Chain A
Amino acid sequence: MKKGRYGIHGGQYIPETLMNAVNELEEAYNYYKNDEQFNEELTRLLNEYAGRPSRLYYAERMSEDLGGAKIYLKREDLNHTGAHKINNVLGQVLLAKKMGKARVIAETGAGQHGVATATAAALMGMECEVFMGEEDTKRQALNVYRMRLLGAQVHAVTTGTATLKDAVSETMREWTRRIEDTHYVLGSCMGPHPFPEIVRDFQAVISKEIKEQLMEKEGKLPDAVLACVGGGSNAIGAFYHFIEDESVRLIGCEAAGRGVNTAETAATIATGKLGIFHGMKSYFCQDEFGQIAPVYSISAGLDYPGIGPEHAALYDRGRAEYVAVTDDEAVDAFEYLARTEGIIPAIESAHAVAYARKLAPQMAKDQIVVINISGRGDKDCAAIARYRGEDIYE
């Protein structure tokens, strides 16, 4: 099989200008991933700084309310900076530092990855610039301020639909402008090889912990693992160590926006087709001539027209399932988890909670569902209030 392929997906569809940079990254990663000192440093950062391992919490009230499977919540929302993004970022920024880079750049949708990157850059003394769609800088104004507070420069991207895909494009353009001293901290398991592999490996700590924690609490594997999917980094992290365990259903929850039968959707598996974009072959929302579709979701973090190549391959071979969850269902789930468990999830993660509300009641009481709560919802409160007609602003 060719380098960086997941079935037919993946690859390195990028300008020649970047090829030596990704080759250099691949070489460095292959060295450091087996380097004892690197792994010790990273583990120390994850544990002492980010607060790992994150809790696997038995959601008793939710389980009782739904009347089916036992529900566990993997609390990635409790990580430092409030989301799973920090797992990948600490790994990549540490790697960049080892590679002698002085500057990191990143795209961000909801702002969580941008905040995580700005945080790691502050911690490790690196220059940081974040590209964020102008639309998202409005939806997530608080995160823009957080990034600035952490010393990062935030660029509002006005091209295209001014959302996540345009932020990715602009960060790629910036990388071709300045490569020598700069590492692109890609935030999801997407883009050209080796990014999908690097991001997956750094996020795989999620499923490694779930497996150990559940074994300790229940003495068995879960029956289903649910996670929201935009590019798919928290999902691939939550799935990875269960891929070989065929009894575990792996369910990715895509953002259907206003519905998969409308144009206002970001559900790639449900509505996309095979294509080549942002460095990879995978599924993309696009028109018949291959023009990338202007996708929509209430969740800035899932508002992306593609999906990581490993998810596309897991879908092709029927190992993982992908379901679509609408804005309405996600907002209901956001409120539901707040009231039932006293946990306000990110609106992204609420997509997985929404599907669990449908799935768990159909399962037996001795079965187990794990929902990856990929982030916390503080950043979304103002937007959800507005969605419900309350006129509040940060």
Chain B
Amino acid sequence: MSRIQEAFQGKKAFIPFITCGDPDLETTEQLVYAMEKEGAAVIELGIPFSDPTAEGPVIQAANLRALGGGVTTDKVFETVEKIRKNSRIPLVFMTYANVVFSYGTERFVKRMKETGMDGLILPDVPFEEKEEFDSVCREYGIELISLIAPTSHERIRMIAEKASGFVYCVSSLGVTGTRSEITTDIGEMVRLVKEAKDIPCAVGFGISTPEQAAEMCRQADGVIVGSAIVKLCGAHGRDCVPYVAEYVRSMAEAAQSV
């Protein structure tokens, strides 16, 4: 069993997302330690991209702040190397196809393996295009995470059968960002996934409150939260660590209360 799948054993998983280098990479490193300590099961590290088409305004702004501060793919890898001296928490990159492709897909994935990354999420790579990346990921033992959306319907089986790590269930239409209400039938999405493959399902997009986290964890194996955390990073800059820590504690507790 992979380190990612172990994170789902015996408890619901809280999966926070941060954008690497927002506000700087030293803070990113400290955020990882704090979030691990407060109960995160897996951490998603966003490698900033100039034109993140799946993101709402909060994460778009974080991407631009990070790039404005001079973050590059190489510097993100160096930060992961530092983190790995102190932490074994499963780490998953979330970035866009061009960041990986332009680095050289094999060079990128090899570097992931060397630095101790566990998984990769590419929101602009659907099932039809995944083999180009997944063939390399399999070679290096990196798990390429598949996404399913409220519009996936009959595609869910096909996607789930070839999924690895966990399945990222997109809760709502649209881009990332907090929502007051989630109307998709998550339970049904999860059921269709599990019918095809016994694999953990984590729900993301739009979740920000402990109540939502608990509600989603009643129907799935975990929750992913990005914009609500990135908002704290944006508001508090280099002083964000204690604020994020407190928030992660409340969300992880809520997730695990189920």
Q: Closest CB-CB distance, A94 to chain B, in whole Å?
A: 24
Indicate if the CB atoms of A289 and B103 lie closer than 8 Å. Answer: yes
SS class of chain A's interface: helix, strand, loop or mixed?
Answer: mixed
Indicate if the CB atoms of B53 and A284 lie closer than 8 Å. Answer: no
Let me know if B256 is at the binding interface, CB within 8 A.
no
User: Which residues of B have CB within 8 Å of A12?
Assistant: 126, 128-129
User: Which residues of A have CB within 8 Å of B102?
Assistant: 273, 275, 286, 288-290
Which residue from B51, B126, B152 sits with its C-beta under 8 Å from A169?
B51
Residue in chain B with minimal CB distance to A193? B128
Indicate if the CB atoms of A19 and B54 lie closer than 8 Å. Answer: no
Let me know if B73 is at the binding interface, CB within 8 A.
yes
Indicate if the CB atoms of A177 and B149 lie closer than 8 Å. Answer: no
Cross-chain pair count, CB within 8 angstroms: 116
Q: 1/0 per residue B148-190: CB within 8 Å of A?
A: 1111110100010000000000100111000000000000000
User: Which residues of A have CB within 8 Å of B123?
Assistant: 15-16
Indicate if the CB atoms of A292 and B173 lie closer than 8 Å. Answer: no
Q: 1/0 per residue A153-170: CB within 8 Å of B?
A: 000000110000110010
User: Which residues of B have CB within 8 Å of A275?
Assistant: 98, 101-102
Let me know if B49 is at the binding interface, CB within 8 A.
yes
Q: 1/0 per residue B98-132: CB within 8 Å of A?
A: 11111100000000000000000001111111000
Let me know if A277 is at the binding interface, CB within 8 A.
yes
Residue in chain B with minimal CB distance to A4? B128
Indicate if the CB atoms of B147 and A276 lie closer than 8 Å. Answer: no
Indicate if the CB atoms of A13 and B124 lie closer than 8 Å. Answer: yes
Which residue from B72, B149, B150 sits with its C-beta under 8 Å from A289?
B72
Let me know if A247 is at the binding interface, CB within 8 A.
no
Q: Closest CB-CB distance, A46 to chain B, in whole Å?
A: 32
Q: How many chain B residues have a CB neighbour from A under 8 Å?
A: 41
Let me know if A179 is at the binding interface, CB within 8 A.
yes
User: Which residues of A have CB within 8 Å of B51?
Assistant: 160, 165-166, 169, 277, 292
Let me know if B60 is at the binding interface, CB within 8 A.
yes
Indicate if the CB atoms of A292 and B50 lie closer than 8 Å. Answer: yes
Q: 1/0 per residue A167-180: CB within 8 Å of B?
A: 00100110011110
List A270-287 residues whose CB lies under 8 Å from chain B: 273-279, 284, 286
Q: How large is the interface on A (under 10, 10 to 19, 20 to 34, 35 or more residues)?
A: 35 or more
Q: Closest CB-CB distance, A1 to chain B, in whole Å?
A: 13
Q: Closest CB-CB distance, B199 to chain A, in whole Å?
A: 16
Q: Tell me, in angstroms, the Cα distance from A17 to B123 when the chains sit together.
A: 10
Let me know if B232 is at the binding interface, CB within 8 A.
no
Indicate if the CB atoms of B153 and A16 lie closer than 8 Å. Answer: no
Q: 1/0 per residue A7-23: CB within 8 Å of B?
A: 00001111111111100
Q: A179-B151, A284-B98 are known contacts; what are 17 more A-B pairs with Cβ within 8 Å? A: A13-B125, A14-B126, A15-B147, A16-B123, A16-B126, A16-B151, A16-B152, A19-B151, A159-B57, A165-B51, A177-B175, A276-B97, A276-B98, A277-B98, A288-B102, A290-B73, A292-B51
- 9 residue pairs, one from A and one from B, having the closest CB atoms: A290-B102, A177-B174, A17-B149, A276-B97, A290-B98, A291-B50, A16-B149, A292-B50, A16-B147
- Could you jot down 27 A-B contacts, CB within 8 Å? A3-B128, A11-B128, A12-B128, A16-B127, A16-B159, A17-B151, A17-B173, A17-B174, A19-B126, A19-B127, A20-B152, A20-B155, A159-B60, A169-B51, A176-B175, A177-B174, A179-B173, A276-B96, A276-B98, A276-B124, A277-B51, A277-B97, A277-B98, A284-B98, A290-B98, A291-B49, A292-B50
